[in-house]
């Protein structure tokens, strides 16, 4: 009976040792099927069925390898370099912009445009870190983790409050069915309209938090005073005279 949990142990050990998640999950699934004395053809058929019916399997099998390949060829580094060229960009401003885009796209039903695996890890978090490095120079590991946490939170908040405005989202349809059973007349568009003030409030509140994040980074990494041009030229001319 305990052997049936071997797949769970493989997943735990694989993630602790930081092996490739796709390989870990695939091996765990194969081992679990073999321990359960399933034929190999049935195990492969189950993988195929899950691939077709479960969007999370599609995420692992299709999106993650593509993201991993792009990261290997410098996607994160290019994202950092790109945002570093924008002088007005700060970590907070960048995340506020992504929060707005995430809410708007989710409100239109385009919930798959963002996400931690396909957007936050390869693009949003590196760009947020790049904005901080361009403004303050090298940053500590603790600051990096803080920025990554805020990047992930922005995606969660934008999706959570934005999708409730879309009339065909599961939560709206679930509430519609529940109220219909109680003979309470409601419409999906009516419930979605009530989600707009909540989404706007969430955007404003979290934008303030991101503004405070910029303030916190500025206190943690005070700007180095720049040398006045006249003083710099005098110093250079003095060095030239000595030479």
Does residue 143 sit in the same domain as residue 190?
A: yes
In a domain, residue 33? The reply is yes
Looking at residue 229, what is its pLDDT? 44
Confidence of residue 232 (pLDDT cuts 50, 70, 90): very low
Its domain, for residue 30, covers 2-53
Tokens of 120: 């936050």
The position carrying tokens 């939560």 is 171
pLDDT at 122 over 50: yes
pLDDT at 118 over 70: yes
Percent of the chain topping pLDDT 90: 28
Looking at residue 68, what is its pLDDT? 67
> Cα angle at 112 between 205 and 24, to 5 degrees?
110
Number of Cβ atoms within 10 Å of the Cβ of 158: 27
- Phi and psi (nearest 5°) for 185? -75, 115
Does residue 37 sit in the same domain as residue 90?
A: no
Decide which of 136 and 33 is more confident: 136
In a domain, residue 233? The reply is no
Question: How far, in Å, CA of 102 to CA of 237, rounded?
Answer: 54
Does residue 79 sit in the same domain as residue 42?
A: no
Tokens of 220: 């943690």
Does residue 28 sit in the same domain as residue 119?
A: no
pLDDT at 18 over 50: yes
Which of 78, 68, 88, 79 shows the shortest CA–CA distance to 128?
Answer: 79
Question: Per-residue pLDDT averaged across 49-72, rounded?
Answer: 61
């Amino acid at each position: 009976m305990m052997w049936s949990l071997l797949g769970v142990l493989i997943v735990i050990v694989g993630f602790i040792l930081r092996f490739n998640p796709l390989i870990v999950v695939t091996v765990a699934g194969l081992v679990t099927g073999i321990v359960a004395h399933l034929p190999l053809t049935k195990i492969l058929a189950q993988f195929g069925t899950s691939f077709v019916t479960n969007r999370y399997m599609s995420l692992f099998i299709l999106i993650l390898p593509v993201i991993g390949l792009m990261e290997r060829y410098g996607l994160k580094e290019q994202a950092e370099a790109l945002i570093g060229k924008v002088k007005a960009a700060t970590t907070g401003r960048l995340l506020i912009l992504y929060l707005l885009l995430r809410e708007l796209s989710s409100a239109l039903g385009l919930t798959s445009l963002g996400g931690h695996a396909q957007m936050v890890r390869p693009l949003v978090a590196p760009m947020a870190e790049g904005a901080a490095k361009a403004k303050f120079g090298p940053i500590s590991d603790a600051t990096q983790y803080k920025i990554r946490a805020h990047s992930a939170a922005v995606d969660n908040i934008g999706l959570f409050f934005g999708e409730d405005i879309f009339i065909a989202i599961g939560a709206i349809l679930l509430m519609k069915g529940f109220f219909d059973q109680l003979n309470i007349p409601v419409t999906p568009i009516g419930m979605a309209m009530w989600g707009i003030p909540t989404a706007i409030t969430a955007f404003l509140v979290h934008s303030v938090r991101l503004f405070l994040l910029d303030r916190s980074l500025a206190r943690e990494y005070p700007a180095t005073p720049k040398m006045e041009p006249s003083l710099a030229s005098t110093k250079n001319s003095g060095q030239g005279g000595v030479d």
